[in-house]
């Protein structure tokens, strides 16, 4: 995973829980351009721990002068977002990966319907800038609980085809009304809680949309759980994964070479073969198929855990 | 006439899986010649289909029009040729919603052209059903003058635009919905191999 050290040049509170960060090259060099929906992985040296979190880029994809992200503080999370909020100061240097896009616009579309829930607005901000530049036909539907919490409102221009659905103002998002009667060539992109993504999938299925017109992204934080042990077939070593650590992080700590990209169960890079499994793999990823999940022959170490007697991986 | 079966020897040639009913959803149907019979067989499997389906039929001498017209389709329109009905087909596509299905039946040339038109309108391939019925004649594009010659049944053939003698290549272009024809006597002008009937 290629990455470079970038300087934090701006920090701005967008809402009580969301901060915007801007990163620039220390010598003002241009950064690689990206496409709407791309994310970067931010490395956070937190004490003797190295945290790595993926964040969608919210800046203009055609602007190489800097990268911007918006981070929501998750007080119940594992600490990455708390670190960004509490410890990162303007002028700090952080290691930022090259952008990667797992949620790009489908260029076959004649119309794009972008649906965001809460902080899920972030990739859609960059997609919107790409669409504005290419004069694409689109509409945005952004759902938030309250105007105060809706950090995305600060990032969205006031345009007639950009709609905010604020539930405590009595304007809940009505997916049926949004999706019914869309013309052929419409593609829908959803980013937000898993419940929202599932609702869009159900609604489009009920309306008879072809599945290929659906796109979604959900980044999972590695869920905590009970500590467990894993045996590595190639070296014969056994390592322990802590309750708040992911299997991927434990492998990295043990200096096991492993490729990764999104660290959120979406990209498939860290897929690992299971040699033997006596117990149950707790799959949390969106990468493996249901059959692969139930066969317990593959695991995504970035988000999935294990409970049982013995798990041997081909690593 | 039953559905046309191909030998699987031409890898670039699309294979159409046939029409399968998708129930009472908005549908566009476009058929030519013996393809009319495929539509009749389709609605026999599910009588809820016609009420939501707009049909365009190009008879090309086949007698399925009368029967089709009597089946209670949402609309029925008979056309002389694909070229003449293209503006109407485009309008139907432009007004269609995301739940619209497209059923195509008939010759390879019709299916190919209508498919590329529908994809251009933004329809996804998974929303299109197609069934090849009728002639094995090929729609050919001359790679030299780019003109299209319809209903080619011999190899080589004469380009109807520039007059070159063209060799029929087993190379299908999805974008043009046509096979490629290449000058057969470029190296040895006037030496044209005997014409053979195209059998696949």
- CATH number, residue A274: 3.10.20.30
Instruction: Reply yes or no on whether the pLDDT at B6 is more than 70.
Output: no
Looking up tokens 């050290």 gives A5
Is A186 in Cβ contact with B126 (below 8 Å)? Answer: no
Q: Does the distance separating the beta carbons of A182 and B98 come in below 8 Å?
A: yes
pLDDT band at B135 (very low <50, low <70, confident <90, very high): confident
What are A172-229's pLDDT values in tens digits? Answer: 999 999 999 899 999 999 999 989 999 999 999 999 999 999 999 887 788 889 999 9
pLDDT at B7 over 90: no
Q: What is the pLDDT of residue B136?
A: 86
Same domain, A95 and A129: no
pLDDT at residue B148 is higher than 80: yes
B93: which chain A residues are within 8 Å (Cβ-Cβ)? 184
Q: Identify the CATH number of the domain in which residue A86 sits.
A: 2.40.30.10
Q: Do A184 and B96 touch (CB under 8 A)?
A: yes
Point out the residue among B93, B95, B98 whose CB comes nearest to the CB of A209.
B98
Classify residue A106: in a domain, yes or no. no
Asked if residue A170 is part of any domain, the answer here is yes
Predicted complex ipTM? 0.83
Return the pLDDT at B1: 60
Question: What are residue A312's DSSP bridge partners?
Answer: A231, A276
Determine the residue of chain B that is closest to A106 in CA distance. Answer: B122
A186 contacts in B (CB within 8 Å)? Answer: 98, 122
User: How many angstroms separate the CA of residue B54 from the nearest CA in chain A?
Assistant: 16
A64 and A151 together in one domain: no
Does residue B18 carry a pLDDT above 70? yes
CA of B93, closest CA in chain A: separation in Å?
Answer: 8
Nearest CA in chain A to B128: A210
Does any domain span residue A31?
yes
| B102 interaction partners in chain A (CB closer than 8 Å) | none
| Domain end call among A43, A72, A101 | A101
Q: Is the peptide bond before B156 cis (omega within 30 degrees of 0)?
A: yes
Rounded alpha-carbon distances, angstroms, from residue A296 to A96, A229, A284, B47: 34, 16, 13, 45
Q: Inform me whether the C-beta atom of residue A138 falls under 8 Å from chain B C-beta atoms.
A: no
As a whole number, mean pLDDT of residues A279-285 equals 95
Q: Mean pLDDT across chain B, nearest whole number?
A: 93
Structure confidence at residue A46 as a pLDDT band (50, 70, 90): confident
Q: What is the percent of chain A with per-residue pLDDT over 90, rounded to a whole number? A: 87
Residue B10, pLDDT score = 79
CATH code for residues B27-132: 3.40.50.80
Which residue do the tokens 């149907």 mark?
B29
Query: Which among A109, A110, A211 has the least Cβ separation from residue B126?
Result: A211
Which residues in chain A are contacts of B129 at CB distance < 8 A?
Answer: none
Are A58 and A138 in the same domain?
no
**Per-residue pLDDT tens over the stretch A158-179:** 999 999 999 999 989 999 999 9
Q: What is the mean pLDDT of residues A82-97?
A: 96
Confidence band for A78, pLDDT divided at 50, 70 and 90: confident
Residue A260 DSSP class: -
Residue B4 has pLDDT above 80, yes or no: no
What would the two tokens of residue A213 be? 């017109």
For residue A223, is it within any domain? no
**Residue A17 located in a structural domain:** yes
**Domain CATH for A204:** 3.40.50.80
Whether residue A29 is contained in a domain is answered as yes
Give the contacts of B47 (CB within 8 A, at least 6 positions apart).
none
Q: Number of folded domains in chain A?
A: 3
Only one residue has tokens 């670039």, namely B12
- Residues A94, A22 share a domain: yes
| Contact list, A108 vs chain B (CB under 8 Å) | 119, 122, 124
Containing structural domain, residue A292: 228-313
pLDDT number for residue A244: 86
- Among A67, A101, A135, the domain boundary falls at A101
A222 within a domain of the structure (yes/no) = no
Q: Which of A53, A71, A101 is the last residue of a domain?
A: A101
Distance from CA of A206 to the nearest CA of B (A): 10
Alpha helical stretches, state H, A208-278: 247-253
The CA-atom distances, in angstroms, between A313 and each of A143, A269, B10 are 41, 16, 44
Q: Which of A109, A110, A182 minimises the CB distance to B97? A: A182
pLDDT of residue A22: 98
Percent of chain B with pLDDT over 90: 87
Domain boundaries, chain B: 27-132, 138-197
* One domain for residues A192 and A262: no
In a domain, A263, yes or no: yes
At A49, the pLDDT band (50, 70, 90 cuts) reads: confident
């Amino acid at each position: 995973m290629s990455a470079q050290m970038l300087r934090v040049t701006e920090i701005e509170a967008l809402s009580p829980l969301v901060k915007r960060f801007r990163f620039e090259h220390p010598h003002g060099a241009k950064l690689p351009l990206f496409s709407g929906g791309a994310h970067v992985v931010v490395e956070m040296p937190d004490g003797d721990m190295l945290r790595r979190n993926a964040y969608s880029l919210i800046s203009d994809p055609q602007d190489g002068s800097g990268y911007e992200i918006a981070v929501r503080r998750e007080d119940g999370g594992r600490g990455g977002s708390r670190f960004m909020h509490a410890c990162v100061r303007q002028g700090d240097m952080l290691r930022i990966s090259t952008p990667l896009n797992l949620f790009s616009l489908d260029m076959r579309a004649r119309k794009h319907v972008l649906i965001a829930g809460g902080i899920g607005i972030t990739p859609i901000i960059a997609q919107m800038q790409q669409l504005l530049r290419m004069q694409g036909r689109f509409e945005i539907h952004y759902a938030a609980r309250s105007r105060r919490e809706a950090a995305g409102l600060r990032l969205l221009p006031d345009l007639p085809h950009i709609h905010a659905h604020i539930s405590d103002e009595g304007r809940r998002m009505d997916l049926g009304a949004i999706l019914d009667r869309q013309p052929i060539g419409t593609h829908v992109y959803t980013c937000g809680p898993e419940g929202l993504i599932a609702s869009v999938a159900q609604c489009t299925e009920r309306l008879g949309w072809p599945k290929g017109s659906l796109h979604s992204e959900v980044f999972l934080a590695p869920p905590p759980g009970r500590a467990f042990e894993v045996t590595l077939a190639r070296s014969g070593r056994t390592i322990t994964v802590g309750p708040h650590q992911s299997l991927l992080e434990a492998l990295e700590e043990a200096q096991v070479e492993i490729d990764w990209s999104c660290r959120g169960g979406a990209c498939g890079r860290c897929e690992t073969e299971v040699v033997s499994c006596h117990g149950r793999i707790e799959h949390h990823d969106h990468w493996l198929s249901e059959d692969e999940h139930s066969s317990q022959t593959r695991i995504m170490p970035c988000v999935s855990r294990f409970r049982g007697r013995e798990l041997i991986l081909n690593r | 006439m039953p559905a046309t079966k191909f030998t699987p020897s031409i890898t670039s040639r699309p294979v159409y899986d046939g029409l399968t009913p998708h129930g009472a959803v908005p549908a566009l149907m476009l058929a030519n010649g013996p393809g009319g019979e495929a539509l009749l067989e389709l609605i026999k499997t599910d009588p809820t289909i016609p009420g939501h389906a707009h049909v365009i039929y190009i008879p090309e001498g086949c007698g399925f029009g009368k029967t089709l017209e009597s089946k209670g389709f949402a609309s029925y329109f008979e056309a002389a040729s694909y070229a003449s009905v293209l503006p109407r087909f485009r309008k139907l596509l432009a007004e269609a919603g995301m739940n619209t299905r497209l059923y195509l039946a008939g010759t390879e040339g019709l299916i190919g052209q209508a498919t590329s038109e529908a994809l251009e309108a933004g329809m996804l391939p998974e929303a299109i059903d197609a069934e090849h019925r009728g002639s094995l004649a090929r729609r050919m594009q001359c790679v030299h003058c780019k003109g299209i010659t319809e209903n080619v049944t011999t190899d080589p053939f004469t380009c109807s635009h520039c007059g070159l003698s063209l060799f029929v290549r087993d190379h299908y272009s999805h974008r043009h919905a046509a096979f490629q024809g290449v000058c057969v006597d470029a190296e040895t002008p006037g030496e044209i191999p005997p014409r053979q009937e195209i059998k696949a």
